Structure 1
Amino acid sequence: MNLPNDPIMLMSYLNTQLRDNYPSLEELCKSMCLDETEIRAKLETVGFVYQPERNQFV
């Protein structure tokens, strides 16, 4: 699976997936074989942090 390289597009894509298909970032990463630490780090470089209570990056 090719994820968007741009952090803003990546955040939008992941939030859509989280909203529509996954109860948590952990489940999304397991299902898509992604490194959760890498995803969090990439999005934190542009100020987005995962909020589990909202199940989205903000």
Structure 2
Amino acid sequence: MEIPKDPFMLLSFVNMKLRDEYDSLEALCLDLQINQEELCRKLAEAGFDYQEARKQFR
């Protein structure tokens, strides 16, 4: 699956998937074959950090 390149579209995509389909960021990354560290880095560069308690990037 191709994930969005734009960081804001990526944020929306990942948060929607976490809300609707996955129990954890790890499960999302494993299922979609996404490097979790790279995903977190890309979103951090745009100013977003993963908040595990909320199960979303903010």
Q: When the two structures are superposed, what TM-score results if normalisation uses the length of structure 2?
A: 0.97
Tell me how far apart the structure 1 counterparts of residues 4 and 33 of structure 2 sit (CA, whole Å): 15
Any gaps of 5 or more consecutive residues in structure 1?
none
1:37 counterpart residue number: 37
CA deviations over 1:7-30 (Å, ceiling 9, x no partner): 000000000000000011001001
Any gaps of 5 or more consecutive residues in structure 2?
none
1:25 counterpart residue number: 25
Tell me how far 1:40 sits from its aligned partner.
Answer: 0.2
- Percent of residue pairs identical: 47
1:6 counterpart residue number: 6
Q: When the two structures are superposed, what TM-score results if normalisation uses the length of structure 1?
A: 0.97
**How many positions carry a matched residue from both structures?**
58
User: What RMSD in Å do the two structures reach over aligned CA positions?
Assistant: 0.4
